[in-house]
Amino acid sequence: MSTRTSSDQRIRRRTDGHCTRVDAVLAALRRHQTTTVSLLAQETGYSRPTVTATLDELCANSLAEEASLSDQGVGRPATSWRIRPDAGIIIGVDLLATSMLLVVVNLRGEVLLAHQYTLDTDNADRRLSQLSSFIHEAAQAQQDSGRLLAVGVSATGVVDPDGSIVASDFVPVWSGFPLAERLAQALGVQVIVENDINMAAFGEYTLRYQEHRVEADSCLFLVQFTRGPRTGLILDGQVHRGRRWKAGEISELIDLRTGDEPDEEWMSRTALAIATVSAVLDPDIVVLSASNAHMRDAILQVIQRLDDLQDKNGSRIRLELAELEGAGSVIGAIHTALAAAGTVLTGVLSPTPVHLTGTASITAASMKGSHSVMNLFQSSSKPETLRAGIVGVGARSRFALACERPENNAHITAVCDPHPLVRERVRERLRRDPDSLSVTSSVEELVKTGIDIAFVTSPDDTHASVTCDLLEAGIPVYLEKPLAIDLEGATRILQTAYRTGTGLYVGHNMRHMNVVRSMRDIIRSGRIGEVKAIWCRHFVGHGG
């Protein structure tokens, strides 16, 4: 389902050759912050006059602009060109039963926002109202980046080519609901709705295409092990649904009643079912997606069995693990919307795919809260112990020891501190043998150790940079007071936490004191009216 706003009408349709040139120049502009006509001509293969004329057209349509480079020598400075910062935004949404993951990107493919929201499950119209409101609010928050151009939606259930939900077992109120049509009416922009597994398959395909690991006409077969083995199929770079929108489905071929753990029989039967379907489809690549780390081990064994079933003398199908996991569906939705917007802006039916940057924040947001599909196997074993890291092994680092109490199910596995005496500090303040954990000197190294959570107890002036780096990596943070040493740093931390959807808790013992809680309750109740001023009798001016 698609609609076109009045402002889109000015993008005039021309010959196929002209549209191809517009797409090529726009794609080349995306690859640079700024660039010149000479470089664009070199990259696209078109003449300088042709590139200049195309740039003029893009400028007239508010998609590009020129800016002067600083003079680097004698003579007139070169003129640079770039995509306008306000050229427009794209929104991708992944809808599950009770939650949605929303991502905003600009026309350059830069991720501006990734956030989770809770959705109603009892009423289709109310659910639609929530969805459209969240999208509208996100677009308004990013209005400096331009108008909303298109929306891509990943939804559970059977979705027809018009974007209507034919049937949805997990969201029954959606069944028979014309989602694309109704959402397009509410937003006034083009809306594309597709099944979540198909979106995930398209996300995995686009990632590999951009990295030159598959061709434009490649066939990719995705098998996702979540609520059952569910499949998505990409043929010639496009989603293939089949006549009844169930192409490649193999769930009915595999008996899922195997108890709590995927056993040897299940893995062998799963490999045989996938191999059978692959023999018919003859894909270039089969991608298997696990729902969690425990399932990942079983899928690796399935891949080994699949490889053993291949013809040793013939061409072999590539077998890979999914690389996007929980973020795959929303990334597929983003690419679908970017392609739809690109067609409107350039006239090309299959515009050059946009390379996304900042996808770590999408992955982090996809792992937060309750936004998760149901696991195929529910292990009855004890949950894995959380791996905790500490940044700054100073006097306040002792606070982190509380995480190792039995009820918290966590263990300190790594520290980060550039101080030359860090090992002595670990032994003295954490009462730990420094050889028993990873000792690092940078946040990047700390993240690579595989920690799940982090305690920031470093010097106050490092709080903003350290905390933002951890949040960007998707690591929930306990930040010991103060939040930051200035308003700019505090704002940066809060905005990063909101944008990435990563957990942030600021530790301050006084926030839990009865007198402070009582003051809060009195203010909230309105008993003293609007607060005009606060007298702070206890103030530490320099973080002492």
Which one-letter DSSP state was computed for residue 84? -
pLDDT at position 186:
96
Between residues 140 and 299, the one the model is more confident about: 140
- Domain membership of residue 376 (yes or no) is no
What percentage of residues in the chain have a pLDDT greater than 70?
A: 86
The string of DSSP letters for 409-450 reads: -EEEEEEE---TTHHHHHHHHS---GGGSEEESSHHHHHHTT
pLDDT above 70: residue 74:
no
| Residue 368 binned pLDDT confidence (cut-offs 50, 70, 90) | low
- Domain membership of residue 33 (yes or no) is yes
- Residues comprising the chain, all counted: 544
Q: Domain containing 320 — which CATH number?
A: 3.30.420.40
161 contacts 241 by C-beta, under 8 angstroms: yes
- Domain membership of residue 539 (yes or no) is no
- Domain membership of residue 519 (yes or no) is no
Domain coverage including residue 421: 386-511
Please indicate, yes or no, whether residues 396 and 498 belong to a single structural domain of this protein: yes
Please indicate, yes or no, whether residues 260 and 217 belong to a single structural domain of this protein: yes
Please indicate, yes or no, whether residues 75 and 98 belong to a single structural domain of this protein: no
- Domain membership of residue 146 (yes or no) is yes
Among candidate residues 306, 337, 366, the one where a domain is terminated: 366
Q: Domain containing 401 — which CATH number?
A: 3.40.50.720
Helix (H) or strand (E) holding 223, with range, is strand 220-225
Please indicate, yes or no, whether residues 207 and 319 belong to a single structural domain of this protein: yes
Between residues 538 and 52, the one the model is more confident about: 52
Q: What is the rounded average pLDDT of the residues 390-414?
A: 90
pLDDT above 70: residue 249:
no
- Domain membership of residue 255 (yes or no) is yes
Please indicate, yes or no, whether residues 52 and 123 belong to a single structural domain of this protein: no
Q: What is the pLDDT of residues 460-498, one digit of tens each?
A: 999 999 999 999 888 999 999 999 999 999 999 998 888
Please indicate, yes or no, whether residues 311 and 335 belong to a single structural domain of this protein: no
pLDDT at position 68:
60
Q: Determine the Cα–Cα distance for residues 273 and 71; give it in Å rounded to an integer.
A: 64
Number of structural domains found in the chain: 4
200 contacts 13 by C-beta, under 8 angstroms: no
Q: Which of 510, 396, 512, 471 is nearest to 115 (CA)?
A: 471
pLDDT at position 251:
62
Q: Determine the Cα–Cα distance for residues 269 and 15; give it in Å rounded to an integer.
A: 52
Please indicate, yes or no, whether residues 393 and 506 belong to a single structural domain of this protein: yes
Q: Which of 59, 82, 126, 137 is nearest to 104 (CA)?
A: 137
Q: Determine the Cα–Cα distance for residues 96 and 122; give it in Å rounded to an integer.
A: 13
403 contacts 387 by C-beta, under 8 angstroms: no
pLDDT above 90: residue 457:
yes
What percentage of residues in the chain have a pLDDT greater than 90?
A: 51
Please indicate, yes or no, whether residues 351 and 292 belong to a single structural domain of this protein: no
Please indicate, yes or no, whether residues 191 and 333 belong to a single structural domain of this protein: yes
| Residue 6 binned pLDDT confidence (cut-offs 50, 70, 90) | very low
| Residue 9 binned pLDDT confidence (cut-offs 50, 70, 90) | very low
Which one-letter DSSP state was computed for residue 172? G
Helix (H) or strand (E) holding 438, with range, is strand 438-440
75 dihedral zone (left: phi>0; alpha: psi -120 to 50; beta): left
Dihedral pair phi/psi, residue 437, rounded to 5°: -140, 170
| Residue 533 binned pLDDT confidence (cut-offs 50, 70, 90) | confident
Q: What is the pLDDT of residues 477-486, one digit of tens each?
A: 999 999 999 9
pLDDT at position 82:
94
167 contacts 129 by C-beta, under 8 angstroms: no
With 0-12 CB in 10 A as exposed, 13-18 as middle and 19+ as buried, what is 222? buried
Dihedral pair phi/psi, residue 254, rounded to 5°: -120, 125
pLDDT at position 151:
98
Q: Domain containing 34 — which CATH number?
A: 1.10.10.10
pLDDT at position 256:
47
Please indicate, yes or no, whether residues 333 and 316 belong to a single structural domain of this protein: no
Among candidate residues 83, 108, 136, the one where a domain is terminated: 83
Q: What is the rounded average pLDDT of the residues 22-28?
A: 94
pLDDT above 50: residue 3:
no
Q: What is the rounded average pLDDT of the residues 193-202?
A: 94
- Domain membership of residue 530 (yes or no) is no
pTM comes to 0.70
Please indicate, yes or no, whether residues 314 and 349 belong to a single structural domain of this protein: no
- Domain membership of residue 542 (yes or no) is no
| Residue 380 binned pLDDT confidence (cut-offs 50, 70, 90) | very low
pLDDT above 60: residue 1:
no
Please indicate, yes or no, whether residues 426 and 285 belong to a single structural domain of this protein: no
